[in-house]
């Protein structure tokens, strides 16, 4: 009986020494080993902003990438965007050869010297984060230039797509009759659209109409779209794009 009583006293003493209202006794750590403060770790984590390193996206669009000598080319940066919440773009900076040429969202440049040119756009958001994109174009002294073929896609969910050629244009603004009222004409557009389903590729459309309708198919693996355009001084251009369907959107590869 005495042995049992003594054992109970020892166990009670051990439990009392280890229990401190459910809290960790920091003095039980070996010397030189810091105690872990869970609340402190949570505070450190909260100091890291979820928007940190979420850079804006600089984007340059242009109507053409070949500019005849004597014309001007306009570059548009207004499609640039922010990615961090509660921010906005606060600055645009266009540069050539390291020199600032404009701080507007768009810039128009004279095409005065033949050759390859590059312009860079840096955008800055309200968190002082930046991003840069550069755009290259050619200044040519040729009297006529090929047109630019552009494929535009309009999605009608659960129904299909319109593939359109209307954004395509004649880059040199010169036509055979020199009539300024119609000097941006595309006189012919030919489409070849191939569809791949279950690994089988077939020609779906071979037609000259500017707008082409394609039905949605959930079984679609790949759609290959080629547009050939001819301008009114009989020069041609071609573009090919490939798309996949994810059930909701047509995704360009």
- Are 124 and 189 in the same domain? no
Helix (H, G, I), strand (E, B) or coil at 95: strand
Domain that holds residue 116: 61-140
Threshold 0.85, pTM exceeds: no
The answer as to whether 14 is a domain residue is: no
The model's pLDDT over 177-221, given as tens digits with 9 standing for 90+, comes to: 444 444 557 889 999 999 998 889 999 999 999 999 988 778 888
The model's pLDDT over 147-164, given as tens digits with 9 standing for 90+, comes to: 889 999 987 766 788 999
Give the per-residue pLDDT at 219: 84
- Are 126 and 170 in the same domain? no
Please work out, in degrees rounded to the nearest 5, the angle formed at the alpha carbon of residue 149 by the alpha carbons of 68 and 147.
30
The answer as to whether 122 is a domain residue is: yes
The answer as to whether 5 is a domain residue is: no
**CA–CA gap between residue 72 and residue 110 (Å, rounded):** 4
- Are 171 and 215 in the same domain? yes
DSSP string across 35-48: PP-HHHHHHHHHHS
Length of the chain: 253
For 71, the token pair is 């014309």
Between 73 and 63, the more confident residue is: 73
The answer as to whether 126 is a domain residue is: yes
The answer as to whether 20 is a domain residue is: no
Percent of the chain exceeding pLDDT 70 equals: 73
Percent of the chain exceeding pLDDT 90 equals: 43
- Are 124 and 215 in the same domain? no
Q: Of 140, 165, 182, which one is at a domain's C-terminal end?
A: 140
Q: Is the pLDDT of residue 44 over 60?
A: no
For 195, the token pair is 């569809």
Q: Of 140, 174, 190, which one is at a domain's C-terminal end?
A: 140
pLDDT band at 6 (very low <50, low <70, confident <90, very high): very low
The model's pLDDT over 163-183, given as tens digits with 9 standing for 90+, comes to: 999 999 887 765 554 444 445
**CA–CA gap between residue 87 and residue 130 (Å, rounded):** 12
Write phi, then psi, for 105 (nearest 5 degrees): -75, -20
The answer as to whether 22 is a domain residue is: no
Q: Is the pLDDT of residue 102 over 90?
A: yes
**CA–CA gap between residue 244 and residue 128 (Å, rounded):** 37
Q: Of 114, 140, 166, which one is at a domain's C-terminal end?
A: 140
- Are 135 and 180 in the same domain? no
- Are 123 and 71 in the same domain? yes
- Are 157 and 130 in the same domain? no
Q: Is the pLDDT of residue 57 over 90?
A: yes
Count of domains forming the chain? 2
Strands (E), 51-164: 61-62, 66-68, 72-76, 89-96, 99-102, 106-110, 115-125, 130-140, 152-156, 160-164
The answer as to whether 46 is a domain residue is: no
What CATH number is associated with residue 158?
Answer: 2.60.40
- Are 90 and 110 in the same domain? yes
- Tally of CB atoms within 10 A around 221: 14
The answer as to whether 217 is a domain residue is: yes
- Are 89 and 180 in the same domain? no
Chain mean pLDDT for the chain = 78
Q: Is the pLDDT of residue 49 over 70?
A: no
Residue environment code for 83-105, b if the CB has 16+ CB neighbours within 10 A, otherwise e: ebeebebeebbbbeeeeeebeeb
- Are 167 and 97 in the same domain? no
**CA–CA gap between residue 100 and residue 68 (Å, rounded):** 24
Give the per-residue pLDDT at 129: 95
- Are 120 and 168 in the same domain? no
- Are 80 and 161 in the same domain? no
What CATH number is associated with residue 83?
Answer: 2.60.40.10
């Amino acid at each position: 009986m005495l042995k049992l009583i003594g054992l109970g006293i020892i166990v009670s003493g051990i439990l009392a020494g280890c229990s401190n209202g459910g809290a960790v006794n920091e003095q039980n750590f070996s010397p030189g080993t810091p105690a872990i403060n869970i609340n402190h770790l949570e505070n450190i984590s909260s100091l890291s902003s979820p928007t940190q390193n979420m850079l804006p996206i600089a984007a340059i669009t242009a109507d053409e990438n070949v500019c005849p000598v004597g014309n001007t080319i306009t570059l548009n940066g207004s499609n640039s965007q922010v990615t961090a919440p509660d921010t906005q773009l606060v600055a645009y900076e266009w540069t050539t050869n390291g020199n600032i040429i404009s701080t507007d969202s768009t810039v128009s440049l004279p095409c005065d010297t033949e050759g390859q040119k590059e312009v860079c756009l840096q955008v800055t958001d309200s968190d002082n984060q930046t991003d840069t994109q550069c755009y290259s174009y050619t200044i040519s002294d040729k009297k006529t230039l090929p047109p630019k073929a552009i494929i535009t896609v309009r999605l009608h969910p659960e129904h299909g797509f319109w593939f359109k050629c209307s954004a395509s244009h004649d880059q040199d603004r010169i036509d055979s009759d020199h009539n300024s009222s119609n000097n941006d004409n595309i006189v012919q557009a030919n489409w070849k659209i191939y569809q791949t389903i279950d690994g089988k590729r077939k020609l779906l459309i071979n037609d000259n109409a500017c707008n082409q309708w394609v039905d949605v198919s959930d079984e679609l693996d790949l759609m290959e779209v080629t547009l050939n355009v001819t301008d009114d001084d009989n020069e041609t251009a071609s573009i090919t794009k490939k798309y996949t369907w994810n059930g909701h959107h047509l995704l360009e590869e």
